[in-house]
Structure 1
Amino acid sequence: MKGLAPAATSKWKTGARHPERTRERILAAALKEFSAKGFAGARVNVITRRARVNKRMLYHYFGSKAGLFREVLRKKMAQRAAWAGSSPDDPAESLPYWFERALQDMDWIRLQQWEALQAGNGKVMDEEARRKAAAAGVENVRGRQKRGYIAAELDPRHVLLAMVSLTTYALAFPQVVRLITGLSPDDPRFRIERTRFLRWIGSALRPGNSSKDAR
């Protein structure tokens, strides 16, 4: 038993010497666990084992399981905000762009699936910050309307909601894709077809292509 103490101490000191590296390793392990099992089902001991740290170190950095989950969300939101900064203004280009980002970010999609199952329509973790991020997305659409990329008569809230749905639904529900198209979302043929379709839909959002009589 005495032989275990130095190893544990060494592990703690290693983490203390490289705090950012250790912190990022914990966040990466937590993202995998939360996206696989949701917040309620995720186990801290699985996260610490995957990150090669002890529980004391995890709680030192994040305070609690909820604090860790909140930081995972914030990291993903920061990543998505950076992607938004590079997104094309033209919806015929931005829809394929976000579809490609979604393909690279399946953990985010799974996190939201679990959240919907576990929270339903109730409040979610870090709700206020996420509302602000959503509001920024709506303002982005409104700005593109003013610059002439998206029809001004469309409700920017519903434009954003449609864009999110069009670029993520097929990846969130692969069984529906297979039943309708006979293809898997992983199939290159589906990705080519989907990208072509998204370009067409995006072009329909441009000024002059929407109906002013729509209710």
Structure 2
Amino acid sequence: MPEQPQTSRGAATYQRILDAATEEFAQHGIAGARIERIVTAARSNKAQLYAYFGDKEGLFDAIFLGSLERITNVVPIDADDLADWAVRLYDEYLRRPDLIRLATWTRLERRPQGHLVEMHQHYDDRKLRAIAEAQDAGRVRAGDPFDIMAMVIAMSMAWSPVSNVYAASSQEPDEVHDQRRALLRDCVQSATAAGRSHASPS
């Protein structure tokens, strides 16, 4: 765990390092990020960075896990309205595209298979329980709650920075985003509606 600073001046330096490192890692990945650029942008030095975070890997961990906490807290799941959850995730990707890039680098450089983080249960359990409860109440279609969660998140990322088709930008006209939100909402509602039958094997 990072060593938290004890003074307001130290806290300001700590935050500048986090901000500079977030931009650096999002742009260059883990291997490509350079500590020299980070401390220069943060108006700090290597000694402070290493005292707070240990090393470059520790710094990335602090940033990436913090980004997961942010998305969990800023965009909490509503299993009774998964379509609205997907739309709110879409909006968060517009506000913070760097968070999606951090996840992409993690997938490319650290965990090409399986869960994105080792402590995935910390981030997934509440979502999975909420989906399972909605299923039990007949509000969400049957199926593995994890697969339903993964599908809804993937749909929300259709225009995100990791899209192979088109990456949206907050600079685009509001009506364009409204059209995408409406389409996303309709598609998620259709895909997760209770009572949908499973496809029969051919």
TM-score bracket, normalised by the shorter chain, equals 0.7 to 0.9
Judge conservation of contact 2:77–2:127 (CA < 8 Å) in 1.
no
- Moved segments of 4+, more than 6 Å: none
Matched, 1:48 2:39: yes
Root-mean-square deviation (CA), in Å? Answer: 2.6
Q: CA separation in 1, counterparts of 2:162 and 2:8?
A: 43
The answer to whether the Cα contact below 8 Å between 1:90 and 1:149 also exists between their aligned partners in 2 is: no
- Tell me, in whole angstroms, the C-alpha distance in 1 between the residues paired with 2:60 and 2:180: 32
TM-score normalised to structure 2 length: 0.82
Cα-to-partner distance string for 1:36-71 (whole Å, 9 max, x where unaligned): 000100000111011110111111111111111111
- Residues 45 and 55, structure 1, Cα contact 8 Å, conserved in 2: yes
Q: Indicate the SS of the match to 1:143.
A: helix
* 1:176 paired residue number: 165
Give structure 2 stretches of 5+ with no counterpart.
1-5
Q: What stretches of structure 1 of length at least 5 have no aligned partner? A: 1-14, 178-183
Counterpart pick for 1:75 among 66, 75, 81? 66
1-side partners of 2:164 and 2:200: how far apart? 32
Identical columns (%): 26
1:159 to 148, 163, 181: 148
2:189 aligned counterpart, secondary structure: helix
The size of the alignment, in residue pairs, is 192
Higher helix fraction: Structure 1 or Structure 2?
Answer: 1
Q: Which residue of 2 aligns with 1:203?
A: 189
Question: What is aligned with 1:192?
Answer: 178
2:133 to 130, 138, 143: 143
Aligned twin of 1:115 = 106
Bigger Rg, structure 1 or 2? 1
CA distance in 1, matches of 2:193, 2:139: 6
Q: Which TM-score applies when normalising by structure 1? A: 0.77
Query: How do residues 30-49 of structure 1 correspond to structure 2 at under 5 angstroms?
Result: 30-49=21-40
Instruction: State the distance in 1 between where 2:77 and 2:122 align.
Output: 19
